[in-house]
Structure 1
Amino acid sequence: MGPAGTVRDLPSALHDRGRLATRLAGRRPAVFLDYDGVLTPIVDRPEDAVISDGMRETVRHLAARCPVCVVSGRDRTVVQRLMGIDDLVVAGSHGFDIWSPGEGVIAHDPAPGSAGLIAAVAERLWAETGSLDGVIVEPKRASVAVHYRLAAAEDRDRVVAVVRSLQARQPDEIKIMPGKMVYEIQPKVDWDKGRAVLYLLEVFNLGAEIFVPLYLGDDVTDEDAFRVLRGRGIGIIVGHPDDTEVAGRPTEAEFALASPEEVERFLTTLGY
């Protein structure tokens, strides 16, 4: 099944509630939420993406009524700190690091022995881009992100060149995931947010006879989750039709929401 189109082509998860209710067909939602761009707006500096009080309470209320999990490219502990919620399932680092309030850290390692590779990539990025104003290198548990939203145009070009050079030197060891003014460098293993969602459905016994998985995301890395849920769940892309970073990109999602504000309104109604 091919992509549904772009965000401009999709029905609204908020305003086309009848179509969404038909897809749920009396089953319970199991909700998977990206963090940046979904629960918070995209901001210039990653450390400033703190969830609002209203969104925090909305997520808490929803989690009391149905399964909720945050699936983020950020480190799991960073997401938990920014959210200020300590009783929610969180899958950080694209699902490499999963924690639940009942079990604590769930032991699984899709990329064993990758710590040295990640450390070496981070060192190279610091050496090559550390002097560039507005470029932020963010090491994580299982990847390294290099943010360039605040950089000048010529420095953005330098970041692109460095990332391409890394990939050319280590094509069998690393993969590059482009995002919104960010590149994510990961070990080249068969793991992504889509595989993480399938793993979470199995680990937490969220079978299709009772639950319909809903995944809300805004970035390229979320497309893997939209893709694996086609025919099994519902993908909802978050992005305004006028946002050039989202609107022109083909998506596997089937519904859309325009902003984190619409996400909050949608989640408020979902658990009732």
Structure 2
Amino acid sequence: MKSSSQVSTNIVKLTESFSHSTVSAASSQVQKSSMALFGGLLGQYQKRRLLFTVEESNNNKGGSNKVGHPSALKMFDEMIWNSKGKQVVVFLDYDGTLSPIVADPEKAFMTKKMRAILKDIARLFPTAIVTGRCIDKVYDFVRLGEVYYAGSHGMDIKGPTKSRNHQKGNNNEALVLFQPASQFLPMINEVYKILVEKMKAIPGAKVENNKFCLSVHFRCVEEKCWSALAEQVNSVLKEYPKLKLTHGRKVIEIRPTIKWDKGKAIEFLLESLGYANSTSVFPIYIGDDTTDEDAFKVLRSKGQGIGILVSQIQKETNAIYTLHDPLEVGQFLRRLADWKKNKF
């Protein structure tokens, strides 16, 4: 059973994910309605934290890159200099990075231009998509056999169906490399069915089964229903102590409590590529969400490669550089591909 303090903390995080996900929503009206909705559920410290979160989003309206986190486009030449003599490996989140954030998660399509750029990148560098989505779903969006796919926040990893010279093996079918949470599948499916029924009472809520984790999307949920949604999710989760609740951009994530995340996933992939503890590799990780911070932390702690945060607002991050949106991500990847081609 989870304590009431944990429930309250999760509600705060739910609100944080809303306020940080869109600048336009961070208005004085949102501030007032948020406090009214959550006021009865939070302690004084948590109320102050919630108030600060909404105000911070207001202050960042139209904000530029935070000091110490310059644009990856402006610093491209410096980045290339630091990668000299090393193998560049590219890691990419999907939603909000390769595709725009949309109201319906089933319609998060990449542009044709982005797919062409990504295909070029995958031919030139070892490339992996590391996402909270299940592999099958993100593959339907991407449809490129040259890349590694790490779905469910890295809990389901498969290799490329098309072997490149920088990837080991000549398998014609995607190889399941790692599934550390396979024993949780029955529990995940059970909770999914319960949440689907619970969310029928919350207009606009959508539950997505990502195989080894679940996502409760509230992008289309009215503010007046936030409290009810958070309480419904927590009422289910407190019966499953082996599952934990995290948050992203207008989404609540439900995952196994195992010590595995996107950071662990990129470490595993680097090892699979033969670069474990190597000083001759330069990983580049680009992502926009809270869950990508685990990968940024790994690269920063190793002093290896760079993390690039995709964000339109100023925020604390372990990334080194920033990009504004998927359009700038495409520009950065195109420049990276052109550099590689011109190198030879």
Length-normalised TM-score, structure 2: 0.72
Inter-partner Cα distance in structure 2 for 1:74 and 1:68: 17
**8 A Cα contact 2:131 2:152, kept in partner:** yes
Name the structure 2 match of 1:174. Answer: 243
The answer for the alignment partner of 1:199 in structure 2 is 268
- In structure 2, what is the Cα distance between the partners aligned to 1:233 and 1:169? 41
Deviation string for 1:60-107 (max 9, x for gaps)?
Answer: 111111111111110111111111323321111111222222441324
- Residue pairs, 1:96-135, within 5 angstroms: 96-100=155-159, 101=161, 102=163, 103=171, 104-135=174-205
2:269 aligned partner, one-letter code: L
Partner of 1:220: 290
- Answer yes or no: is the 8 Å Cα contact 2:123–2:146 preserved in 1: no
Deviation at 1:23, TM superposition (A): 2.6
Instruction: Give the distance between the partners of 2:258 and 2:266, measured in 1 at CA.
Output: 16
| Paired residues of 1:134 and 1:151 also in contact (CA < 8 A) | yes
3-state SS of the aligned residue for 2:158?
A: strand
Matched, 1:266 2:325: no
Residue by residue over 1:105-127, the C-alpha shift from the partner in whole angstroms, topping out at 9 and shown as x without a partner, is 32423124101210122122122
Partner residue, 2:310:
238
After superposing the two structures, state which structure 1 stretch, 145-154 or 109-118, moved more: 109-118
Query: Offset of 1:131 from its aligned partner?
Result: 2.8
Taking the aligned partners of 1:84 and 1:121, their CA distance within structure 2 comes to 29
Q: Identical aligned pairs, as a percentage? A: 35
Match of 1:257 in 2: 323
CA contact (8 A) 1:30 1:206 kept: no
Q: Deviations over 1:211-264 (max 9, x none)?
A: 2111000001100000011112211000113xxxxx33x211111001111100
| Helix, strand or coil at the partner of 1:196 | helix
1:190-229 per-residue CA deviation (whole Å, 9 max, x = no partner) reads 1000000000000121353432111000001100000011
Distance (whole Å) between structure 1 residues aligned to residue 134 and residue 144 of structure 2:
15
- Segments of 4+ moved more than 4 angstroms: none
* 1:142 lines up with 2:179 in the alignment: no
Q: Residue 19 of structure 1: CA displacement?
A: 2.7
Tell me by how many angstroms 1:7 deviates.
Answer: 5.0
- Greater shift after overlay, 190-199 or 82-91? 82-91
Matches of 1:147 and 1:153 in 2, distance apart?
13
Match of 1:52 in 2: 111
Structure 1 residues 181-196: aligned runs within 5 Å: 181-196=250-265
Change (3 A) 1:47 1:164: same
Counterpart-to-counterpart distance in 2, 1:229 and 1:164: 33
Report the residue type matching 2:306 in the other structure.
I
What is the DSSP-based 3-state SS (H/G/I as helix, E as strand, rest coil) of the residue aligned with 1:114? Answer: helix
Other structure's SS at 1:185 match: strand
CA gap of 1:23–1:164, structure 2 versus 1, over 3 A, is farther
Bigger mean CA offset, 224-233 vs 21-30: 21-30
Distance in 2, matches of 1:125 and 1:238, equals 30
**134, 137, 150: which one pairs with 1:91?**
150
Aligned with residue 137 of structure 2, among 60, 78, 82: 78
1:8 aligns with 2:66: yes
- Matched with 1:244 is none
Q: Contact (CA 8 Å) 1:97, 1:105: kept in 2 or not?
A: no
Q: 1:41 aligns with which of 100, 121, 144?
A: 100
Secondary structure of residue in 1 paired with 2:329 = helix
SS at match of 1:47: helix
> Higher strand fraction: Structure 1 or Structure 2?
1
1:26 Cα deviation (Å)?
A: 3.0
More helix by share: 2
Greater relative CO, 1 or 2 (CA 8 Å, sep 6+): 1
- How many residue pairs match? The answer is 260
Looking at structure 1, the residues matched to 258 and 156 of structure 2 have their Cα atoms a distance apart, in angstroms, of 15
Report the Cα offset of residue 269 of structure 1: 1.2
Closer, same or farther in 2 for the Cα pair 1:19/1:167, shift >3 Å?
farther
Distance 2:141 2:198 in 1: 29
Contact 1:30 1:211 in 2 (8 A): yes
Q: Is the 8 A contact 1:122 1:144 kept in 2?
A: yes
CA distance in 1, matches of 2:114, 2:245: 31
Are 1:40 and 1:51, in contact at CA under 8 Å, matched by a contact in 2? Answer: yes
